[in-house]
Each structure stands twice: as structure tokens, then as C-alpha cells.
Amino acid sequence: MTSRTRQDPADRRRQLLDVACETAEAGGLETLTPAAVAAQAGASKGLVFHYFGTTAQLRRAVALEAIERLAADLAPDDGPLVERPARALSAFLGSVTARRRVWEDIWRGVLAGDPVTEDALRAIRADLVGRLTTLADIGVTPDARLDLLARGWVALAETMTAAWLGEGSTSREDLSDLLLSSLSVLVPELPEPARSAVAEVSGAP
């Protein structure tokens, strides 16, 4: 009689999470349930509950995976300072496009009110601001005024990207140009050399 090799719990959870991400990308976070993941994975619903708890926690896990992937894509850049905003924006658009249905649902507020997801979103938005304005690269922490402007710009960028994902009325290159140009709003508030880098890449005077 052949014995069955017991799978490592971390590996099994990873497999189920991958299936959950695929399921959410196909049908959206609101349709994601332990039963749907179990059916796709060929596992029991009880096993999915074991690893992820409630339906809300399963959806949170998928959202956090998308946020963690974005954080990895926004990793520090050692290239020329002037090129970093464009590369950070390219990484952002590539990451959210790869998981477009999940990000659309996140931005629609499907997980609004979940403190863990909201904390993760605050952190990734701060990281995005740091990368796109190059503040993270020069080791500058924004003051209250710049932080307010930067958070407002991120909200604009998310709204524009969500609209683009939903409508596809322009090219990704055009969207990128629009978003980079809008960074010029922040230029007067940025310290050097970040101001020069953003001004050059956005075409601001």
C-alpha cells in the first residue's frame, strides 16, 4: 500500500490562495467564497475555512496579496533619479493591470471598513508617493502640507486608473503621460533634487 505524503500547511495555503486570487480575478471579490475556492481547488470547503476563516477574511487575504504584489513591484530603484518616477508609475500600472478585477473592487470599496486592508492600503499609498515623487529615494519624509497634496494626488491617480481599467478609452501610454503630467501639481512643494526629477519627467516648467 502506497502512503500519501502529507503536504506542508504553508504550501497548501499558498495553493488555495493562488486559486482564490484566480477566482476573484475571474468573478470579482464579491463573488469569492470558500465554497467557490474549494470547488476550483478540488478541496473541501472546511479546508478553505481552516486556512482562511470567514468569507470576509478570505477576501481580505486576496486583497492583501494584490497589495503585497504591488509593494514588491514598487521595490527601490537604483537607476538615474530622473527616470525613477516613470519607472515607478510603469510598475504601478503593470501591477494593477495584472490584477485589475481585484483592484477595481478594492477601489470600489468592497473591503471598506476592514482595518487590516485599510492599513495595508495606507502603507502602499505612502510607498507609491515616495517612489513617484522620488522622496523615498532621497530619504525625505513629507511634511504635513506635502503629505496632504501627495495623498490627494494618489486618490486622483487611483480614480483615473480605475476609470481606465473599466473603460479602456485611451492607451496605457497616454494614461501614464497624464498621470506623470499631473505630478507637476506637487512640484512647487517638493525639495530638491526631487523637484527637478519630477519636473523633468512630467514636463513641468
What residue segments make up the domains of the chain, in order of their start?
9-202
Question: Measured between alpha carbons, how far is 184 from 177 in angstroms, rounded to an integer?
Answer: 12
Dist CA 61 CA 52 (whole Å): 8
- Closest to 154 (Cα-Cα) out of 189, 131, 178, 128: 128
- Degrees, nearest 5: CA angle 37-54-44: 40
Which pLDDT score, from 0 to 100, does residue 120 have?
Answer: 97
pLDDT for 4 beyond 80: no
Domain made up of 9-202: CATH architecture: Orthogonal Bundle (1.10)
pLDDT band at residue 3 using 50, 70 and 90 as cut-offs: very low
Contacts 24+ apart (CB under 8 A), 178-187: 179/89, 180/85, 180/86, 180/89, 182/153, 182/156, 182/157, 183/85, 183/132, 183/133, 183/153, 185/149, 185/153, 186/133, 186/146, 186/149, 186/150, 186/153
Q: Which residue has the higher pLDDT, 2 or 191?
A: 191
Q: What is the pLDDT of residue 5?
A: 56
Predicted structure pTM score: 0.90
pLDDT tens digits, one per residue of 90-136: 999 999 999 999 999 999 999 999 999 999 999 999 999 898 889 88
Which 8-state DSSP code applies to residue 134?
A: S
What sign does the CA torsion over 143, 149, 150, 152 have?
A: positive
Q: At what angle do helices 55-73 and 9-27 cross, to 10 degrees?
A: 90
Where does 53-171 have alpha helices with state H?
Answer: 55-73, 84-98, 100-108, 115-132, 135-138, 144-167
C-alpha closest to that of 42 among 16, 67, 21, 60: 16
Secondary structure element (H or E) that encloses residue 12, with its range = helix 9-27
Judged against a pLDDT cut of 90, whether residue 183 lies above it is answered with no
